[in-house]
Chain A
Amino acid sequence: MNNAESGTTYEIIDLCLLAGKIMLQNGAETYRVEDTMTRMAASLGFPGAHSYVTPTVILFTTSRTEQPKLFRIAERTTDLQKVAEVNDISRRLSQRQITSAQARERLAQVDDAAHAYPVWLQIMAAAMAGGCFTMMFKGGFQDALPALLVSGLGYASATYLQRLVQIKFFAELTASFLIGLLAYLFVQAGIGKETDKIIIGSVMPLVPGLLITNAVRDLMAGHLISGLSKGAEAFLTAFAIGTGIGLVLSFVS
């Protein structure tokens, strides 16, 4: 492919970095990000490109002469729609179905796109999930109903607080404190029987179960730095939730 068609080296590097950034920010696995970036570079005429990806930073270089470029990732969420779309764009790019200019345009659109589901629907979903988890952990219907309310409120407060304070730890701690308190109050009021069952179902939407699994998976794939830092992130979240609930329990007992 000649340069006039695919743009300058800088533009290609930027294109690959943008794709990598979107994927990493939205919860793709580390190895998939690296793979996509090098593949995109290869299809644009840089077969020897290298990328090094950790949860907080992307390093990317196309050749021996070019300076490696660095991209810092500050916040991470899970948005599988975006991961799927970037995947699609990179596949089309390597099959020459779209040009690099079109790819850049589409990537920018994906990057700017908002969450597909409105916030109220997310809160409803978290509520449903919490109620269902209580049932799955062998709680009865009388526990699932309060869990439905508690987990919805818990998730809503976590999202709201995160927007307010920008510190994930604090938002999670407060939300789980609220969950513990509400669960206790519901049981005291006679709605629901076991505080424990209600709490465990309700914290599930907050709990970093997926992060723990991804961390182990990264470790097994040899991405040691990614694995350890994801593990640390998961530990912090679990610690926040445990502290929040523990605080309530130490007050009431």
Chain B
Amino acid sequence: MIVQLITSFIASATFCILFNTPKRMLFQCGLAGMLGWMVFLLLDPEWKSVVATFFATVVVGAVSQIFARSFKTPVIIFSVGGIIPLVPGGLAYDAMRRFIEDDYNTALEAAVQAFLLSGAIATGLVLSEVLGQMFRRGRK
């Protein structure tokens, strides 16, 4: 578990270098990614991975909103770094590889799974954004 957390932290932070995130934000991006991956790992054995991904993304979204407000930068900087470990890139690749190997059943399964996972991530991000807006309006 600890190894997983450390690697997800490094993976998110280094990915943000590829996306040219400002230097002083790299640590926070890694933190967001680590939190998301932690939630995912905790929920994955009990629920389906789509549900786990959804909740992990909500957490990432909430953390990004908080970071964005306290560091006065757009939310996208943190949310992009945060969802990197959750994004179904591996599955998308796997689906394509199976298609090329003529293994259509497994390929379709992986493709649908990848699509559902990205749907879950998108829904999670939108939900956390909406919740953030409601929270702010409620306080005013």
Residues of A within 8 A of B (CB): 27-29, 32, 78-84, 87, 115-117, 121-122, 124-126, 128-129, 132-133, 135-137, 200, 203-205, 207-210, 212-217, 220-221, 234, 238-239, 241-243, 245-246, 249-250
Whether A136 and B122, one on each chain, are in contact in the complex, defined by CB atoms closer than 8 angstroms, is no
Of the candidates B19, B21, B77, B87, the one whose C-beta lies within 8 Å of that of A209 is B87
Which of the listed residues B17, B73, B84, B97 has the most CB atoms from chain A within 10 Å of its own CB?
Answer: B97
Other than the known A78-B18, A200-B94, A245-B97, what 20 A-B pairs have Cβ atoms closer than 8 Å?
A29-B76, A78-B20, A80-B19, A80-B21, A84-B73, A116-B20, A116-B22, A117-B20, A122-B18, A125-B17, A132-B11, A133-B11, A210-B87, A216-B119, A217-B126, A220-B122, A234-B92, A241-B96, A242-B93, A242-B95
Which of B20, B119, B121 is close to A80, meaning CB atoms less than 8 Å apart?
A: B20
- Residue B113 CB within 8 A of the other chain: no
B14 contacts across to A, CB distance below 8 A: 124-126, 128-129, 132
Within 8 A of A (CB), among B21-63: 21-23, 37
Q: How far is the CA of A57 from the CA of B85 in the complex (A)?
A: 31
Contacting pair B96 A204 (CB below 8 A): no
Q: Mostly helix, strand, loop or mixed at chain A's interface?
A: helix
Closest B-chain residue to A216, C-beta based? B122
* A239 in contact with B119 given A84-B22, A213-B87, A220-B126 (CB within 8 Å): no
A244 to chain B, nearest CB (A): 10
A79's contact among B20, B101, B126, by CB below 8 Å, is which? B20
Counting chain B residues whose Cβ lies within 8 A of the other chain, the interface size class is 35 or more
Minimum distance in angstroms from A66 CB to a CB of chain B: 29
Residues in chain B near residue A239, CB distance under 8 A: 96
- Closest 5 A-B residue pairs measured CB to CB? A242-B96, A209-B87, A209-B89, A207-B89, A246-B100
| Across-interface contacts of B19 in A (CB, < 8 A) | 27, 78-80
Docked-complex contact B76 and A32, CB < 8 angstroms? yes
- In the complex the two chains form, what is the Cα distance from A125 to B97 in whole Å? 25
Which A residues are CB-close (under 8 A) to B21?
Answer: 80-81
Could you list 8 A-B pairs, sorted by A, with CB under 8 Å?
A116-B23, A207-B90, A208-B89, A212-B88, A213-B125, A238-B96, A241-B93, A242-B100
Of B10, B11, B83, B100, which is in contact with the most chain A CB atoms at under 10 Å from its CB? Answer: B11
Are the CB atoms of A136 and B8 closer together than 8 Å? yes
Contacts of A204 in B (CB 8 A): 11, 89-90
**What CA separation (Å) do A200 and B98 show in the bound complex?**
13
Pick from B37, B93, B123: contact of A220, CB under 8 Å: B123
Confirm or deny: B4 has a beta carbon within 8 angstroms of a beta carbon on chain A: yes
Distance (whole angstroms) from the CB of A115 to the closest CB of chain B: 6
A135 and B121 in contact, given A78-B19, A207-B93 (Cβ under 8 angstroms)? no
Task: Kindly identify which residue among A32, A115, A129, A212 contacts B15, using a CB–CB cutoff of 8 Å.
Answer: A129
Query: Nearest residue in B to A245 (C-beta to C-beta)?
Result: B97
With a cutoff of 8 Å between Cβ atoms, the chain A residues found around residue B93 in the complex are 200, 203, 207, 238, 241-242, 245
Chain B neighbourhood of A132, CB < 8 A: 7-8, 10-11, 14
Cα distance A125–B19 in the bound complex, in angstroms: 10
How far, in whole Å, are A200 and B89 apart by their CA atoms in the complex? 9
Bound form: Cα–Cα A28–B10 in Å? 24
Q: How far is the CA of A50 from the CA of B99 in the complex (A)?
A: 43
B121-138 interface mask toward A, CB cutoff 8 Å, 1 = contact, 0 = none? Answer: 111011000000000000
Contact A209 B20 (CB under 8 A): no
- State how many angstroms separate the Cβ of B19 from the closest Cβ of chain A: 5
